[in-house]
Amino acid sequence: MTAEEKTTLACFFDTVSAYLGSGYANSGADYAFKDDPEAVPESQMTEGQMPAGHQTAAPKAAGAEPEADAFSIPLAYLVPEAAEDDSPLKELEAEIRSCTACPLAKTRTKAVPGEGPASPLVMVIGEGPGGDEDIAGRPFVGRAGQLLDKMLASAGLYREKNCYIANVVKCRPPGNRDPMPEEIACCAPYLERQIALLKPLLILCAGRVAARHILRTEEGIGRLRGKIGEYPAAVEIVETGTLQSDSIPPIPVIPTFHPSALLRDESLKHPAFEDLKQLMAALAKLDKSYAAEVKPLLAKYAAKDPAFAEKVRALSR
């Protein structure tokens, strides 16, 4: 770009900045831009001139320093932030981090609100933080968490992209004991608010504690898995007399084994994978772009499982 072109562009952005009152305005500044050097073919470039991503080593220090970019437009002008407003979720997470409403607050290191995008396809609900999570303040980061990440990836789900991960209780029960009913009851409103904000298309309950809590049942996980439940549980609608027309529509719930159970007992891996395939089929029905993204995975799993292949075929009908 020539110096003249740069100055014109800069003045244009000043005008827009001033108009938007964005604080980037630089009106009246004297620009002293230089013409860009003639383009050098990539094959003749020195390391310092290579475009980002092509450098094989850091630019050489003396003499070979690339000149600082004379004119860089604040990126915010060029790539507007996604319009999604995640501040209510961030505020809720901050509220949880400072909560002292139940005795678990006294023994925890950090509360673990949860993590993931504000509009996920799937919400995973575990039991409560373990030792690693208590230190990190993040859910499922220990050995069970690493397995959970692999399980989710096998279904095209990632906490960085389309999957929010949280727990029934947000603070670690000492010695990793089960959370007590009073602790669950005290913490439950946070989980309810998270679900209401996130509005996931599907909930995956990892383990007995989460499945029982979400489905309002005393059944064991072995009997609950393999069937799709619903949140809020029908029993709750009857109890409270509120049909959900004025709030969120019921969300399908897939209960499965907790990844720690899979680490203890290899034989649970097969049924857990069946649950993930069921999740994929259900989600593919609900979300067309997810269906398109995981098409190769669905085909791969269908090739080894005729019953699943039938389900996959039914998706396109």
Smallest gap, in angstroms, from Cβ of residue 204 to ligand SF4? 21
Q: Are 149 and 68 a contacting pair, CB within 8 Å?
A: no
Q: Is 171 in the site for ligand SF4 (CB under 6 A)?
A: yes
| Rounded-to-integer distance, Cα 301 and Cα 279, Å | 13
Nearer to ligand SF4, 169 or 201 (CB): 169
| Rounded-to-integer distance, Cα 209 and Cα 185, Å | 12
Give the full edge-to-edge strand order of the sheet including 251-256: 163-167, 122-126, 202-206, 251-256, 229-231
Nearer to ligand SF4, 99 or 214 (CB): 99
The one of ligand URA, ligand SF4, none whose footprint includes residue 139, by CB under 5 to 8 A per kind, is ligand URA
Residues 263-292 that bind ligand SF4 (CB under 6 A): none
The one of ligand URA, ligand SF4, none whose footprint includes residue 129, by CB under 5 to 8 A per kind, is ligand URA
Residues 223-242 that bind ligand URA (CB under 6 A): none
- E strand map for 134-201: 163-167
Q: Are 231 and 253 a contacting pair, CB within 8 Å?
A: yes
Nearer to ligand SF4, 6 or 170 (CB): 170
Nearer to ligand URA, 92 or 298 (CB): 92
Q: Are 190 and 149 a contacting pair, CB within 8 Å?
A: no
Q: Give the count of residues interacting with ligand SF4 (CB under 6 A).
A: 14
| Rounded-to-integer distance, Cα 285 and Cα 288, Å | 7
| Rounded-to-integer distance, Cα 238 and Cα 35, Å | 73
Residues in contact with ligand URA, shown as a per-residue x/- string from 163 to 202 under the rule CB under 6 A: ----x-----------------------------------
| Rounded-to-integer distance, Cα 284 and Cα 212, Å | 26
Nearer to ligand SF4, 103 or 271 (CB): 103
Residues in contact with ligand URA, shown as a per-residue x/- string from 124 to 163 under the rule CB under 6 A: --xxxxx--x-----xx---xx------------------
| Residue 203: both structure tokens together | 């909930």
The one of ligand URA, ligand SF4, none whose footprint includes residue 144, by CB under 5 to 8 A per kind, is ligand URA
Buried b or exposed e, range 184-203, using 16+ CB within 10 angstroms: bebbeebbeebbebbebbbb
Smallest gap, in angstroms, from Cβ of residue 191 to ligand URA? 13
The one of ligand URA, ligand SF4, none whose footprint includes residue 101, by CB under 5 to 8 A per kind, is ligand SF4
Residues 178-217 that bind ligand SF4 (CB under 6 A): 183, 186-187
Smallest gap, in angstroms, from Cβ of residue 259 to ligand URA? 8
Furthest CA-CA distance within the chain: 77
| Rounded-to-integer distance, Cα 270 and Cα 259, Å | 12
Residues 95-114 that bind ligand SF4 (CB under 6 A): 96, 99-102, 104-105, 111
Tracing tokens 């673990």 back to the chain, one arrives at 112
Q: Are 110 and 135 a contacting pair, CB within 8 Å?
A: yes
Residues 90-119 that bind ligand URA (CB under 6 A): none
How many CA atoms does the CB half-sphere of 297 hold within 13 Å? Answer: 20
| Rounded-to-integer distance, Cα 35 and Cα 67, Å | 12
Residues 49-78 that bind ligand URA (CB under 6 A): none
Smallest gap, in angstroms, from Cβ of residue 171 to ligand SF4? 3
Residues that bind ligand URA (CB under 6 A): 126-130, 133, 139-140, 144-145, 167
Residues that bind ligand SF4 (CB under 6 A): 96, 99-102, 104-105, 111, 169-171, 183, 186-187
